[in-house]
Amino acid sequence: MRELKQIYCNKTSDLPTIKVIKEELENNDRIRIDYNSKFKFRFLKNLKKYIENINQNLNVEIHKGEFKDLKFYNIYSLFSDIEIEKSSRELEKAIKSYRLTSEKLITEFEEKYEYSFIDSKKTFLEIRKVLELDENKLSKNWRYNFHGGDICFSNSKTGQVVDINLKFDGYYGVLDLWFFQYYMETTKEFKSLSHKYKDNTPKLVQTLNLLKEKGKVKSIKSELFDSDKLIWNKKAHNNDGYNKY
């Protein structure tokens, strides 16, 4: 992650040239252009054309936002073709690790408490007292807590955090982007990689789209919430001995 560059404009002459924007994006993952929404029509018209020009001529993704009278455009830098190929290989390793680690922790939890998140004769209320007596300790170093219907594991020794979405019918390690980014940030092997995507979700989505095109990740659906998320595709890795899900 590189620093956010903010530019405040109150007239057309304040808008930096495309050359300046391009140079700034080489040093900053995101540029934010702030302006007051009460400005006159001509400035807003020129600003719209200006943003369209940036979008057409630079490798960026642009999001519009506002807060009270302040409006702004976030201009995110994207990967080049060469950069995304390299980053996609690195990201695939992190996605694979996230799924396998998630599955391992869920299996340990289910075996310890003789409970299944998808098919159990026990209700969660029946094991709740046992969890409280255990003080939410899965093992010597791993602790867990439930939040919003999901479960978060944290390792007191390494600092690793594995937040797992439980709403996808037995698939663990689906890519909730916030959960996954925090996993990379707290995992020693992927901490450096996480800096490429922190505060630049469009770059992460750009890389995930490439991995989906290659079949390295696949989309799965939550019947409960009628939503789709991506997950590492085991079937694309038969050489590693995976043959299910």
138-166, pLDDT tens digit by residue? 999 999 999 988 999 999 999 999 999 99
What the chain holds in terms of domains, given with CATH numbers, is 4-77 (3.30.110.10), 81-240 (no CATH)
77-86 contacts: CB < 8 A, separation 24 or more?
77/25, 77/28, 77/29, 77/30, 77/200, 77/203, 78/202, 78/203, 78/206, 79/203, 79/206, 79/207, 84/206, 84/207, 84/210, 85/210
Percent residues over pLDDT 70 in the chain = 93
8-49, pLDDT tens digit by residue? 988 899 999 999 999 999 888 899 999 876 767 888 899 999
The whole-model pTM stands at 0.88
Q: How many whole angstroms from its chain centre is CA 38?
A: 34
Report in angstroms the alpha-carbon separations of 212 from 36, 137, 226, 229, 230. 40, 36, 20, 11, 8
